[in-house]
Structure 1
Amino acid sequence: MNDITVRTETDYAIEFNKIKKIHRIQSFFKGILFLLPSILLFSVFLFYPMMKTIYLSFFLTDNSGGATTVYVGLDNFKAIFSSPIFLQSLKVTLLFVVYTVPGTVLISLVLAILANEKLRGIGIFRTIFSSTMGISVAAASVFWMFLFHPTIGWLNQILATLGIEAIGWLTDPDWALLSVSISTIWMNIGFTFLILLGGLQSIDSYLYESADIDGGASYFYKLRRITIPMLSPTLFFVITVSFINAFQTFGQVDMLTRGGPQNETNVIVYSIYQEAFMNYQHGSASAQAIVLFVIILVLTLIQFKLGERKVHYQ
């Protein structure tokens, strides 16, 4: 009798496991069906181009870039790292990141802290601070092109009234990258400001009330001990996104300087564009794109490894 009972319980357990496995498989395929539109879009616009780029980086191609001609292995990578133009583009890109990311984040943070104050009419200033988010790169570049114009530009006219010699903002190699960086900071402030303002408004007010009750903490003490630590997840996100976007900058460089003068604003993405669509060297351009991908990936992983330790989650 005991043997029959044990055998029945064992059969029940086996049957239960089978049913559980069937439900798990059904749930998996249901999930795949829901994800299928995203998978198709990612396959067409992300995975296929990535695989195609890796494939082309090992070949020479014809002028159209559509057909490979000669397999060259790693020669494309060796060629770009021996090219002074590509090495210059690496240097320019790193400088551009250094110029734009800290400036964008710091200015946006200050504006967000000011706009978070409960003052009459503060909504107008919030709209002004975030307005650059709604302006396209092309339109913003045209606007800054007029500001930087050597003769009719407002910046040089202001310098003239102060008795200072005019500056070739976009034509002088010493000023061109800085000028593009200034325009980029202005373009990116809107998005960064909105994200940081949302992070500030999500901080619980009881933390500030507790600080006031405990010892009447000063404004800067609360900023240093409460606001910045509580805002650290948002700051980490903003810095990471700004960092990646800076490496991928193209539009304003193309509109303002076209990589000049003397390749002083020739960032990596613009170098890839020149190699692929001006020189018709799609293999070399693909190799540069892979190098850019690896650089962004490695630096982002380092940023996550080092920066996330200082992030304070509520």
Structure 2
Amino acid sequence: MNAMEETLVIPHQAQNTEKTLLQKKTSVRARHMRETALGLLFLAPSLAVFSIFCFYPLIRSVYLSMQVTNPRGKVVDFAGFDNFKAMFESEAFYQNLLVTGKFALYTVPTTIILALLLAALTAGARPGMKLFQSVFSMPVAISVGTGAVIWNLLFHPTAGIFNYFLKLAGFEAVPWLSDPAWALFSVSVMTVWMNLGFTYIVLLSGIQAIPSDMQESAKIDGAGMFIVFFRITLPLLSPTLFFTLVVSVIQSLQAFGQFHIMTKGGPIHTTDVFVYGVFREAFVNYRFGMASAEALVLFAIILILTLVQFVVLERKVHYR
């Protein structure tokens, strides 16, 4: 092959190489587009459901929060930020926030600590543990409405079993749901029981997922039961605890059903949590603009608290 032929072949080979690379890039791009289209096709039903039940109500709430509605709930005038201004100037707004904060403090730590204790005691493979696990998990299968009706009967001032045992012990009957000093505590007790099943199942699963060889090694080295629990089990369980904390805080701020059935915000607004205030504004007073503004503020509060938990607490989580 002479020099002239070499100069002709080399550019031809370079062109073929560039053409091959271009074809490969086009093929990869087409494959990615097909995979993306297929993924969107599978996600379409979920996106449709989210659009109907999440995205549209959110957009509608933003729209209604800037409107004034008549007693029939129809939009009659544009209000701008007047609903938000009136809400922040209202004493009931801060009272509802205070009641919701108390309710969260009563229920969230109590539920997590009690579920953690029960999960630690029943996580082993000892005889009879399956029975206890089933019993402690049962509340997860009971709806809020059913649980509230059951506890309404337990808290009944004359026919309730709690006052029956108090009278047997020589104490006076307690008006659990009609006394301002006891109403929020009573609903909190019911909520702790109701949320215990889910929290217990999650923490039990987290404990059982911890490798047993680490705990056995610590016991062989002479570590006691409490040292193993606090030095090994709890650090390895921290991702699960973090998850349950975030979920429990959100649930406590969104609590509604038990208050609506058991106390309806009373007595004297001592159980008037934030969500019940939103419900009352919307479906009792028919002030959908004010209710939408309060709902958006609640959304912002939950979002901020969740972000704070991730920023402050997640750094202490030990991911394996």
Q: Which residue of 2 aligns with 1:94?
A: 101
Q: Is the 8 A contact 2:69 2:77 kept in 1?
A: yes
Distance (Å, rounded) in 1 between the aligned partners of 2:198 and 2:121: 16
State the Cα distance separating 1:91 from its structure 2 match.
0.7
Distance (Å, rounded) in 2 between the aligned partners of 1:120 and 1:22: 58
Give the secondary-structure state (helix, strand or coil) at the position aligned to 1:258.
coil
State the Cα distance separating 1:310 from its structure 2 match.
1.4
Distance (Å, rounded) in 2 between the aligned partners of 1:81 and 1:262: 21
Matched, 1:303 2:309: yes
Distance (Å, rounded) in 2 between the aligned partners of 1:138 and 1:12: 66
Give the secondary-structure state (helix, strand or coil) at the position aligned to 1:216.
coil
Deviates more, 1:127-136 or 1:93-102: 127-136
Match of 2:52 among 44, 49, 62: 44
Q: Is the 8 A contact 2:179 2:267 kept in 1?
A: yes
Q: Which residue of 1 aligns with 2:136?
A: 129
Match of 1:162 among 169, 174, 189: 169
Distance (Å, rounded) in 2 between the aligned partners of 1:8 and 1:127: 69
Q: Is the 8 A contact 2:256 2:276 kept in 1?
A: yes
Match of 1:274 among 248, 272, 280: 280
Q: Which residue of 1 aligns with 2:92?
A: 85
Distance (Å, rounded) in 2 between the aligned partners of 1:130 and 1:276: 35
Q: Which residue of 2 aligns with 1:139?
A: 146
Distance (Å, rounded) in 1 between the aligned partners of 2:163 and 2:145: 22
Deviates more, 1:181-190 or 1:149-158: 149-158
Give the alignment's TM-score, normalised by structure 2. 0.94
Task: Write out aligned runs for 1:1-314 (5 A).
Answer: 1=8, 2-65=10-73, 67-213=74-220, 215-314=221-320
Q: Is the 8 A contact 1:85 1:263 kept in 2?
A: no
Distance (Å, rounded) in 2 between the aligned partners of 1:31 and 1:139: 39
Structure with greater Cα Rg: 2
Give the secondary-structure state (helix, strand or coil) at the position aligned to 2:77.
strand
State the Cα distance separating 1:64 from its structure 2 match.
4.4
Cα deviation, 1:67-121, whole Å, max 9, x if unaligned, reads 4211111111111111122221111011111110000000111111111133211
Identity of aligned residues (%): 46
Cα deviation, 1:203-232, whole Å, max 9, x if unaligned, reads 11110121122x221000100111111111
Give the secondary-structure state (helix, strand or coil) at the position aligned to 1:12.
helix
Give the secondary-structure state (helix, strand or coil) at the position aligned to 1:69.
strand
State the Cα distance separating 1:168 from its structure 2 match.
1.9
Give the secondary-structure state (helix, strand or coil) at the position aligned to 1:169.
coil
- The gaps in structure 1 that reach 5 residues or longer are none
Distance (Å, rounded) in 2 between the aligned partners of 1:313 and 1:131: 30
State the Cα distance separating 1:152 from its structure 2 match.
2.2
Distance (Å, rounded) in 1 between the aligned partners of 2:277 and 2:141: 28
Q: Is the 8 A contact 1:63 1:280 kept in 2?
A: yes
- The gaps in structure 2 that reach 5 residues or longer are 1-7
The one-letter code of the counterpart of 2:184 is: L
Distance (Å, rounded) in 1 between the aligned partners of 2:79 and 2:133: 55
Q: Is the 8 A contact 2:219 2:228 kept in 1?
A: no
The one-letter code of the counterpart of 2:225 is: Y
The one-letter code of the counterpart of 2:134 is: T
